[in-house]
A = this chain, B = another copy of it.
Amino acid sequence: MKLRVIVTLKNGVLDPQGKAIQHALAGLGFDGVEDVRAGKIFELEVAEGTSDAAIEEMCRKLLANTVIENYRIERA
């Protein structure tokens, strides 16, 4: 079973990487980029029958830092 976990910074948490990318794009001449937020994506291949609870626990324990990050699980 394929799934992907998207980890993004919570709103209100500063994102210097995103800001740097935004400024770099402006420097390259791309106008109109109003905001950039950088995040992580993990593509997992897990055994069929892995429970939703187990997947949630993987996110909370390892993949995301829930103090500053949100995670979203998408099934492919």
Contacts and interface: CB of A to CB of B under 8 A. Distances in A.
Interface residues of A, number: 33
A38 B33 CA distance: 26
A45 B35 contact: yes
Interface string A26-55: 001011111111111111111101100010
A38 B42 contact: yes
A14 interface: no
Given A21-B62, A24-B62, A54 B41 contact: no
16 contacts: A8-B41, A21-B62, A28-B62, A31-B47, A32-B46, A32-B49, A33-B46, A33-B47, A34-B46, A34-B47, A35-B44, A36-B43, A36-B45, A38-B40, A39-B42, A41-B41
